[in-house]
Amino acid sequence: MATDGDFYMATDNFRGTYRWITHVNTHQPNRGPNSGISGRGRKRLDRSGSIGNDLRPQNGAPSVVEKEEAFRRELHTDQSANPEKSCDSLSPIRGESYSMSRMRSNVLAAVGNTPMVRLDRVVPKGHARVLAKLESANPTGSMKDRMAVAAIDAALADGRLSPGGTVVEYTAGTTGISLGLVCAARGLGLEIVFSDAFSDEKRLMMESFGAHITDVPSDNKRITETLIKQMIATSQEISERPDHWWCDQLTNRDAISGYLPLGEEIWDQSGGEVDCFVHSVGTAHSIHGVAKALGTHRRDVRITAVEPSTSAVLSGGPTGSHKIEGIGIGFLPPLWEPDLVDEIDTITTEEAWAMARRLAAEEGIFAGASSGANVAVSLRIAERLGPSATVVTLIVDSGLRYVTTDLYARSAPA
């Protein structure tokens, strides 16, 4: 239990502009009006950085400012020698935890370790527990940040990509945005092959990261096998230029390694309680990486793949078109490993869109259509498995990159 002088926690944004002072209340019935902080959960926002008299300990202990400044000096000294050391180990608050994420060396070090939440309002009573990993919490708002770091760093390490060179990729936008993040942070150029079948928000984000975009026109904004293969061929041609490296996400095995930590995070955050993992398939790298990681802990975790019902090629159906961005490329992914998957379920565009909208309105989770597909199929499995089981899925990316599409446009059908 904290003692007098140890009953507060002070943090700021390390620029001195705002400082929240939050006291940690202790059960001490003899505390009087002048014995320090009283009342539960008191907070004060002090723009000047000064502390009021009612927030200063009365027993001669250091003030919040004095103790915080000592902590900041210790943190600065320690991180100068060891920048990766956690701030938690430097907590100046005796007897209370001082939880604070360590400072990252750069934005790429912030990829991964995303939160996991339990879905509540969209899951009917009597169903299995459904957990969703919020990959939208990655720096660009997508799980693809993981593969972009893995693929580019591996290419730089073995010399396929030269420092200052240019990365080339075909993309529905999400991979392109994540590659843009890594290229900007690593000082690389980026050539993207894109299409009007995908959202304008994605285009703007890639351009903001410095990407040059070449467009391949679609057939009435439909995602088809023909479109994807034209995009692949165009990007391969561009990659033949000097100092250009073709990422070629569909055949890039380094990308799979970026998702192994995702599986480990799922296992740890769920407390080792995963009966089924559900995920939609584009390149298939993410479902493969998670399946392999979970399989090292428990061999009988069920893996369910999700694909569009109108282009159900994984299920042996004919190729077709759909409007669930990021999945269902219309042909078998070159690195597809069916032995890693226990079952394949299908979803319509309308079902995926409807669930994405429900996630926003009922769970406060703003996500894209592929995330809606993930959750909709997860609910089917949760009903089948019953309340004693746990189903885990991914919120693949943020809905912020789809606000002008039919998914979220006000004129879109309910």
Give 350-362 pLDDT, tens digit per residue.
999 999 999 999 9
Per-residue model confidence (pLDDT) at position 32 = 38
Per-residue model confidence (pLDDT) at position 70 = 56
Distance (Å, rounded) from C-alpha 161 to C-alpha 240?
A: 13
Q: CATH topology of 109-138+256-402 equal to that of 144-254? A: yes
What CATH class does 144-254 carry?
alpha beta
At 205, phi and psi to the nearest 5? -65, -45
219 forms beta bridges with 222
Q: What percent of the chain has pLDDT over 70?
A: 74
Per-residue model confidence (pLDDT) at position 276 = 98
Tokens linked to 36 = 């320090």
Architecture of domain 109-138+256-402: 3-Layer(aba) Sandwich (3.40)
Per-residue model confidence (pLDDT) at position 105 = 87
Q: What percent of the chain has pLDDT over 90?
A: 73
pLDDT, mean over the chain: 82
- Considering the entire predicted model, what is its pTM? 0.75
Catalytic residues: 144, 370
pLDDT tens, position by position, 243-259: 999 999 999 999 999 99
For the chain, the structural domain boundaries read 8-102, 109-138+256-402, 144-254
